[in-house]
Structures are given as C-alpha cells and as structure tokens.
A and B are shown apart, each in its own frame.
Chain A
Amino acid sequence: MAQAKTQSLDSAETDKVQTTPEPAVLNGAELLIRTLEDIDVDTIFGYPGGAVLPIYDALFDVHDINHVLIRHEQAGTHAADGYARATGKPGVVLVTSGPGGTNTVTGIATAAMDSIPMVVFTGQVPTDLIGNDAFQEADIVGITRPITKHNYLVKDVNNLEQVIREAFHVATSGRPGPVLVDLPKDMLNTECHYSGLKKISIPSYKPTKEGHSTQIAKAAKLLSEAEKPLIYAGGGAVLGEAWEELTAMAERLNIPVTTTLMGLGGFPESKPQSVGMLGMHGTYYANMAMTECDVLLAVGARFDDRVTGRLDGFSPHSKKIHIDIDPSNIGKNVPVDIPIVGDVKKVLPAIDQQTTKPEIDDWWDTIHKWKREHPLKVPESEDTIKPQLMIEKISEYTNGEAIVVTDVGQHQMWAAQHYTYNYPRSFLSSGGLGTMGYGFPAALGAAFGCPDRPVVCITGDGGFQMTVYELATAVEYEVPLKIAIMNNQCLGMVRQWQELFFDKRYSHSILKKGNPDFVKLAESYGAVGLRATNPKEMDEVLEQAMNINDRPVVMDFQVEEHENCYPMVPAGAALNEMVEGDE
C-alpha cells in the first residue's frame, strides 16, 4: 500500500524496491492500517473527516478490513459495542477530530459502564496547532478521561505502533473497557517504520487472573456446608467466557443460579437451576432467593443498585463470596466475607473441584413454591398486543436462538423477562449507563459481527428515534436485521413512574402527537416496514419478517399503551418488597 511513496523516495532503485514485499517506510496512517491488519481487526465502524483523511486514503485499497460507514459517530460507537458484545472481539471505531470525537462520548461511556472492549481512534489537529482553538479541535483525551479505561495522545510517530498494540491489549485484558487513541494529523503523514512487534507488556498493568488458593478453599467449604446457597452471575460471567464452567458447576452441585441483566445468557434459562433475572424488575423467586439465601456466590457481578435494592435489606442472612477480576468491585457497595480477585473462568472450576454437593432439598422446595405461586405473568388480550406477549412471540419465532439487542426502558425489562436466553452473547443491552438510542446501532454492529446468526432489535418508539438514521447504513449494507418497535406512543418507563409515584402527572412523556409513521419511515430508507395492531396481525408480521433476508425490516407493533412492567422493586425499597401489579 505504500508502494508509490517508496518508489518516489528511492527512484534509483525502483526495481529492487518493487520486489520487496513489505516496504519498510510508510506513513503513520498506513502504519495504523498495517497494525490493525496484523491484530486481525476485520471491521471498523467509522465516519471520515478532515483530520483522518490520510487514514481513509490508506483504507481505500485495503480489502481485508471491512469499513462500515455509519451515519453518526455515536451510533458508530454503539455499533462497535454491539459487535464486541456479540463476538467477544474488541469493537473498533474511527472518527475525525472535534465533533467526530465528541459524538463518540455517549457510546464510550456506555461501553465503559458495561466493561466492553473497544478501541476508538480519533483524528486530532496537527500537534503544532493543539491548544490554538484550531478548526475542529477538541481535547478529546481530556473529555474522555473519566469514561475510558485508558487513553493516549500520540505525540511521536515512533510510538504509534506500540500505542496501537497497547490500546488493544488494555481494552481486551483484565476487566475490559474502552480505550481511545488520539491521532494528530501530522502523525498520520509522517514517515515511520513498521516493526511487527508482538509482545506487549506494560509493567504497571498486570491483572490478577488466578484466584488465591486459601480463599478458594474457604469458598468451597462455605458452599459445601450451605443450606440455602445461591449463585449470582453478572456480566463478568459472559465477558469472562465462563458460561461452560458456571453451567457445569451449578448442575453438578444443583445450586440455583440467578443472573443480572448483564449476565443473561451466561447460564441457560431452560436449565432447572435457573431462577431467572433478579433486581428491580427481576423475578419474584430470584429476589426472594437473594433475600433468603445463606451463602451467596457472586460471579463477575458488581452489586449495582438496580440489583441490590435498599442496601440494609439486601441478602441480610448470607455469607458472601465475590469473584471479580477488578478488585475495586469487591466490597464497593456490599461488604464481602470471602473476596477472590481473579478470572472467573479460572476461579470457578477451582472452587467447583473442592466443593461437595450440599444437601439443599428444602431450599429447592421453597424456591419451587415461590416459582409456582409467583410466576412471570403474560396478561391475555385478543384486541390489543400485550408487550409481554410480543416478547414471547419473538422468542417463539426465533426459537430462542437470536441475538436480542434492546434499547432502554420498559421493553428492555420485558425483553429480559420474557425471552428465554439459553446462549451467551445473545442479550445485548446498555445495563450500566442505560443509554436510549443504543439498541438499533448495537444490533447493527452485532449483525456485522455475527452474519450467520439472526439478530433482533427490540426497541421502543422513543429510543428508536434517537438513532433511527442508521437505517441508511443497514440498507446500504443489506443487513437482514429485524427491528421490533414496542410502540406504546410514550416513554413507557417514565410514564410508569409518573403513574405510580407522581400522581399520574404525565409530564413530557407522551410521544403520540409527534411520532412518525414507522412503516413509511422504513420504506423511505428502502427498508421493509410492517405494522401490527392486534395479536393476529403480530403473528402475520413476524412470519413475514422472518423470511426477509436481504434488507432490514421495521416492525411497528402498536402495543397496549398503559401496561406497566412488574414485578417492580420501587426505589428505596428492599429487594423482597416487590410490587407485583394487578391480577
């Protein structure tokens, strides 16, 4: 790719240079692409602009990296995030300086909160202009410092390759997270050498992987003697690819497993040990099990406030074992009896090996009783589409095998409750930051990462409109993505809180008047638009949508507008103080 440049540099020895397979001298932009190829980056979500023109020029002749032209940088970061969650590989974003960088902020923060590996390359004004308020200049390293695991401003092109490799190493190791690399334009145009160095070592960064053996032995003893044990698996079980170890352990020891929103799919929900999701909109039986258990094994979870409810009422009778690769997660919100810093994939089998199966038949009887008496409810209706039914239907039409990507709000919680997740990396959702507008572009990214798996985006009429412009990208690349809008004509979760806690004063939460005709909107982009207003039509629409494989399908499901999401732990209540809604 740097052939022309090399020739002009060394025209006297043209023949010799041409036979050299890999020119030693290239510019920073070419070095970046070369290094990305070497790291096996296959997809970049990007948007060009002045400061990154040299990179786009270098990309022009490259065929083994698929550059996806997104329509907004925020959506680009969400797409890279969805790609990363679905594949386990780091998502890569390339944007220009100034507004290109600032538009990535929401996506980076979303990835940071959910520990998603991502590397964002931003253009920057030339080094001699930095600080001059130059055109499209923004201190993106400063802006993203609190929301990145690490970030770099490249000031010397000789460090560029090292920085790129470090960025990927940091993003993907330990507790993963987003890393940003800021590239001043002069760095991209300066000549440098590609070294192909492989080994990356950062002396000050060595995540602990092996758990402490004494702690592991203590944990095993506690679990062996437990009468009411519970495994609480978080996003770390999925990110740490520990689903097989977790399933093996829970099945052998016959211990109930609850997962967080981020942990969905980390343990198959069709297994008898599954008690579903816990937390603010978790199942009755998961929240009760959490409250009543005597030994709690937390696996890559972080005791988030949506999971714990009021802290003094959280699992008050249990001894707590906490495995996490990030020491700062341990003891942050809830005191822990046996902290184990390490990689869940390594620590779980070590505990499993030393644990004898506890006698817990009474405990299972209690749990089964809770399950019988307080199941998740799907209200029946022949005229209107109940949101819960919509999710169950999607689960049915995809055989529970789709990658489900949600936005944020009521539909997100229903999607978490009513779709049966049996496979890891199959439920992608903005859990920590709760970013509306995340769902659709993240689904797009997941579809690029896993072209062989069906991808369904379950979104709301509010959230979909925040990033709806990515229909252009989906149509351009012929992505057979299914977008199911749970259209209740309002910001459902906001409306629900206003109904329950603000005297039904629906302040600025009704979208009805301004909502577009989603079918026409889809069609104007060249996508397929379908609409259903009753359960019968919903079946027809889903049937039709599942058979479209050459372009995106937007399904406008006009659901019951006033349905509330239950069970619900109100803010400030303990986990067992659930509101279960109307009979």
Chain B
Amino acid sequence: MKQSTNGTTQTLNKHTLSVLVSYNLNALSRIIGIFSGKGFEIDSISFGSGKQSDLARITITTHGDVQIIEQINKQLNKIIDVVKVNDLTYDSFVERELALIKVTATRSRRSEIMQIAQVFRAKVIDISPEKLTIEVTGNRDKVNAFIGMLDPFGVTEIARTGSVALKREFDGNV
C-alpha cells in the first residue's frame, strides 16, 4: 500500500472508477501500467466495449486514501486515449460482478448447496456426479459472501469478471 506522503493517516476507501477509453490494447496497457508503475492497487478490472464501438468502458475497483485516489484519477486522465474518468463512489451507482464457482458436491451435500445458491439467487449451470458449477451475480460483497458460504464444501475453481458499474439515473430525490 502506497503511503500518503503528507503524513496524515486516513481510512482506506474503496473506489469504483468508470473509465471511457479508445478501444485499443495500447490504451488498456497504459491504464494498467499506471497502477503497476506508480504503486496503486487494482482490486478488480473489467474491459469491454461501450455504447460506441470505438470506445471501451473499463471498470476498475481500487482503494486508497483521498490523495491516492486523486492521483489515480489525474494519472488516468493524463493518458491521451482516455476520454473520461468517473469516480462513481461519490454518486449513487449500480455495480455487478459475475462469478462462476465450481464446488465439490457429493450426493449427500448437493441439496444443501443448492439451497444456499437459492438464497443468493445463484444458478446451477453445470452438474456432474461430484461437482456443481454455480453462477452468481451481485456486487462484490455478495459474491464474496457466497464464495465464503461454499468454501466449507470445497471450492475447486473460481472465475470472476470483476465489477462493472454505471451511475444511477434516479437517486431518489423527488
């Protein structure tokens, strides 16, 4: 973790950044390079096309104190190919992550696992005599909680997309 240079200790906050960028791999590499080269953290990153085919939307979740987040923001904005950086944390926003989890499920435990899956509104998408593969969607905490619940049964493999997020249009104020 990069220390704040002004000596103050501030609580580490999670931030979700939505970055609109030209659709090319040099741009993606530059974005990741900012994090690795300058000692910032990436908790998750997702990359996909946005509304315009020549632009990609990258969603990055990261953490750090106010000064670090400000630097991340500024450094991302400096990249020529970056069109816009939105720190959604300051807005109301919706965030989702998808995970596929392969869990050991012998006949005797199978229904218990499926009950847990039901609570999380997760879906079984593959089944074999020894294993279940379950798809779950939600924010990061929910996905973490689900994986935590399955852990005692023996999780053998996990694939996560990382968060994707958009600003909420209606924040409830009438």
Residues in A lying within 8 Å of B, measured CB to CB: 141-142, 145-146, 149-153, 170, 202-205, 311-312, 326-328, 331-335
Contact = CB atoms under 8 A, between A and B. Distances in A.
A331 B83 contact: no
Contacts of A311: 5-7
Interface in B129-151: none
Interface stretch (B72-80, B89-97, B107-115, B116-124): B72-80
A313 to B, nearest CB: 11
A335 B82 contact: no
Given A141-B26, A311-B7, A333-B5, A204 B82 contact: yes
A327 B77 contact: yes
Contacts of B106: none
B43 interface: no
B14 to A, nearest CB: 21
A145 B30 CA distance: 7
Contact of A326 (B7, B67, B78): B78
Contact of A204 (B33, B37, B70, B81): B81
A51 B171 CA distance: 58
Contacts of B80: 149-150, 170, 202, 204-205
A149 B81 CA distance: 11
Q: Among the interface residues A150, A202, A335, which one has the most CB atoms of the partner chain B within 10 A?
A: A150
Given A146-B37, A203-B83, A204-B80, A328 B5 contact: no
Interface of B: 5-7, 21-22, 26, 29-30, 33, 37, 67, 70-71, 74-75, 77-78, 80-84
A153 B21 CA distance: 17
Say whether chain A's binding surface is mostly helix, strand, loop, or mixed: mixed
Main secondary structure of the interface of B (DSSP, over half): helix
Nearest to A179: B80
B94 to A, nearest CB: 25
Given A205-B80, A327-B77, A331-B70, A146 B33 contact: yes
B6 to A, nearest CB: 5
A158 B33 CA distance: 29
A151 B30 CA distance: 10
A312 B7 CA distance: 8
A328 B75 contact: yes
Contacts of B26: 141, 145, 151-153
Contacts of A150: 80-81
B135 to A, nearest CB: 35
Given A205-B80, A326-B78, A328-B75, A335 B6 contact: yes
A88 B82 CA distance: 27
B78 A328 contact: yes
Contacts of A326: 78
Contacts of B70: 331
21 contacts: A145-B29, A146-B33, A149-B80, A150-B80, A150-B81, A151-B26, A152-B26, A153-B26, A202-B80, A204-B21, A204-B82, A204-B83, A204-B84, A311-B5, A326-B78, A328-B74, A328-B78, A331-B67, A332-B71, A333-B5, A335-B6
Contacts of B5: 311, 333
Instruction: Count chain B CB atoms within 10 A of each CB in A202, A327, A328 and give the residue with the most.
Output: A328
A204 B83 CA distance: 4
Contacts of A142: 29
A355 B67 CA distance: 31
Contacts of A333: 5
A165 to B, nearest CB: 14
B20 to A, nearest CB: 8
A312 B83 CA distance: 36
Given A204-B80, A333-B5, 5 more contacts: A149-B80, A150-B80, A205-B80, A328-B74, A328-B75
Contacts of A334: 6
Given A145-B29, A331-B67, A204 B22 contact: yes
Instruction: Across the A-B interface, give the 3 residue pairs with the lowest CB-CB distance, nearest first.
Output: A328-B74, A204-B83, A150-B80
Contacts of A146: 33, 37
Contacts of B67: 331
B39 to A, nearest CB: 13
A311 B6 CA distance: 7
A164 to B, nearest CB: 15
Contacts of B81: 150, 204
A241 to B, nearest CB: 22
Contacts of A332: 71
Nearest to A312: B7
A334 B71 CA distance: 12
Nearest to A311: B5
Contacts of B77: 327-328
Contacts of A202: 80
